[in-house]
Amino acid sequence: MTDDFLFVSGWAGYPELYPSLAGKGEFLLPFVGCSEGEIFHRLDVSPASTLIGWSTGAHMILKRWSRVTSRFERIILLAPFLAFTDHVPETAVRAMIRSMRRNPEQTVRRFHADCGYAGRGVYREGDAEGLIAGLEYLRTSRAMPAHPGGSTTILVRGERDRIVPFQATESLRGVMPDASCLTLACGHYISGQDLADVVV
């Protein structure tokens, strides 16, 4: 996989989930490592030719679409969505917020397991408030991208995704007809190896 990329990760998408990316490209972790504004700034100034976003990261990219589509040669959106609560009940997000307040480590590790991550889930002490802020963000954030062209765009989804339903990608294809769509034999978590097969 090329080193010339910017990766915007998902909710609790710690770099430990992607060891094969260590030392390559630029990795941004929403809410824990970077605010939305800081991520938007990196999207505006990054010299990378390939932009990759996973889940919440893909959503943030879609919110900045009019800027990024003319800046990057290729954009790869993993498990993307326009609005999370269009496909997942807001009550489920609220329940996860309550769970984060009670036991954040257990909640994050369970989430990673639900994503299909085979290793032991990752959680860092002190990250709970940032992660809760991320869940609050997902309750209301909405992207409305136009597709002026420019970048080669690939939408990637896992056929066993238990977090973001297929319908989310289908809704996105309706507003981005020029994008190609790839379905992988995985869950919500798309491994570094699977990613390397896409980013060739």
Does the structure show a pLDDT above 80 at 135? yes
Binned at pLDDT 50, 70 and 90, residue 124 comes out as very high
Residue 149's pLDDT is 63
- Total count of domains within the chain: 1
Does the structure show a pLDDT above 80 at 2? no
Looking at per-residue pLDDT, the higher value among 51 and 149 belongs to: 51
Residue percentage of the chain with pLDDT more than 70? 96
**In contact, 184 and 157? CB cutoff 8 Å:** yes
In this prediction, residues 179-187 reach a mean pLDDT of: 94
Cα separation of the two ends of the chain: 6
Report the CATH number at residue 129: 3.40.50.1820
- Give dist(CA 97, CA 94) in Å, integer: 5
**In contact, 29 and 148? CB cutoff 8 Å:** no
153-177 tens-digit pLDDT: 999 999 999 999 989 988 888 788 8
83-96 tens-digit pLDDT: 999 999 999 999 99
Q: Which of 46-50, 68-72, 84-88 has the lowest mean pLDDT?
A: 68-72
Q: Which residue segment(s) compose the domain that 57 sits in?
A: 5-198
- Token output for 146: 């136009």
- Token output for 111: 């989430």
pTM: 0.95
- Give dist(CA 74, CA 150) in Å, integer: 9
**Which residues fall within 8 angstroms of residue 16, CB to CB, at 6 or more apart?**
122
